[in-house]
Chains A and B, each alone.
Chain A
């Protein structure tokens, strides 16, 4: 018996969840195809007994741009591959190959078998296979999932999870879950999309997958057609959805918010727009690899969580009012050492600053000063460095301004090297300069020219100024 065989046992995997699907409802309803649990189970068995047999226990990367094809691939690989690396489509080849090397990938499952110059053997992603006669159960393994995270720098980090750590806030009550139909708003290669897929499969709810190249109102029409009654989105996307024709035709029973600070205004609006919906906001920390849900429709979380926390985590504030988390079982690790270090008691610093007000812990933002523009993180230093490249800039300070649509926007205060003849055209020039170096969400949306930026005694630009 090899080491690989030894670690196999009947571990709970995604495929096992399909066994609970006995009433004929579809598991996945895509733009053009609908999959039942029986069809997916047949596909899983055919791949594991067929061309995917040799992937058992191995390190497998997945890059499939067809969303339904991707979901069926994840279903047969979880519990089968020892490690699963989820690659977003359209990834730069050099970055992709770096990921493959760092994760020691042995096989790839992809749509295009040729043409993409994969350095390891490739298996095609299939959604129909020849039936196999198999009724038994194959021993499975606890698959390690590796997901690239955007992080606050431009270099994605690889973070390892298990199905258990990915589904800590997942509701597994299948009886209740049968009443929900989830609509997928994010691609499953993104953390937010993966969470919805896992919730649907493990909770026994149908997942409706739209054509991601279509307009938002067309996706909502597809959702309405399939009876979608549960959606998960960032506060920014929720505000956009509320402006989109067709949202009113969905009878939502569950609205979930995550990825950004959920303010009271959006929570109240969702509560009033969908009176029969449960409004849930999720707090998740990439650093700690865990999260918890707040279900009372109020911003922040109750201070009582500090004494009696939600399941799976313990919460604490440090002397700087930074939220510390201790996962019940530490199941997340960075592949690169030294990125997330727990203190001696196992608490991990989340970097999220808290203000205690009226019995609630409110999120103020990131300790690092990172700005969250609709779920995209911006480091002020990066934008300041770009501004400092411009010869007309003596000093620049970048910070966040509150915004009712994206939560925050980037604001720059600039001390010109010389008083500009035409301040408006100078500001325009600075914006163009930034746009040439930065993606649109990092370009200062607001630019103010000031005569004098205060500098601290240590010679640093004061962020409080």
Chain B
């Protein structure tokens, strides 16, 4: 199970929610905090993903890590996906 397409869609929604355009392109090496997404946009992204995917890796992790680039963010969601945890 790859959550990337859903993450990509909601990523754009979250940018729109904070009224920010995407800076550059969204690729594996995109630095999240330089993509146009601020703390609020990042928070919206995580909450809307939880609504859609029914889990939040940040609260499932024993010790939260804060991924700096897009691919690490996607990997984190894939690692905690219920289908991939079994």
Contact = CB atoms under 8 A, between A and B. Distances in A.
A and B bind: yes
A374 B45 CA distance: 15
Interface stretch (B1-9, B59-67, B78-86): B59-67
Interface of B is mostly: helix
Interface in A216-253: 216, 236-237, 239-240, 242-245
Given A244-B33, A404-B59, A406-B43, A440 B19 contact: yes
Interface in B30-86: 31-34, 39-40, 42-44, 46-48, 51, 56, 58-59, 63-68
B66 A243 contact: yes
A403 B33 contact: no
A156 to B, nearest CB: 21
A244 B42 CA distance: 13
A268 interface: yes
Contact of B40 (A215, A269, A440): A440
Nearest to B59: A404
Nearest to B64: A265
Contacts, number: 75
A445 interface: yes
A267 B58 CA distance: 14
A409 B43 contact: yes
B58 A404 contact: yes
Contacts of A404: 43, 46, 56, 58-59, 64
Q: Give the residue among B47, B48, B68 with the most A Cβ atoms within 10 A.
A: B47
A13 to B, nearest CB: 37
B18 A446 contact: no
Contacts of A443: 17
Contact of B39 (A237, A265, A266): A237
Q: Give the residue among A243, A435, A440 with the most B Cβ atoms within 10 A.
A: A243
For chain A, the bracket of interface size reads 20 to 34
A407 B64 CA distance: 14
B43 A405 contact: yes
A378 to B, nearest CB: 12
B63 to A, nearest CB: 6
A438 to B, nearest CB: 12
A245 B72 CA distance: 14
Contacts of A243: 32-33, 66-68
Given A215-B34, A216-B33, A239-B39, 13 more contacts: A236-B39, A240-B42, A243-B33, A244-B68, A265-B64, A269-B63, A269-B64, A404-B56, A440-B18, A440-B40, A445-B40, A446-B47, A446-B48
Interface of A: 215-216, 236-237, 239-240, 242-245, 265-266, 268-269, 272, 373-374, 401, 403-406, 409, 431, 435, 440-441, 443, 445-446
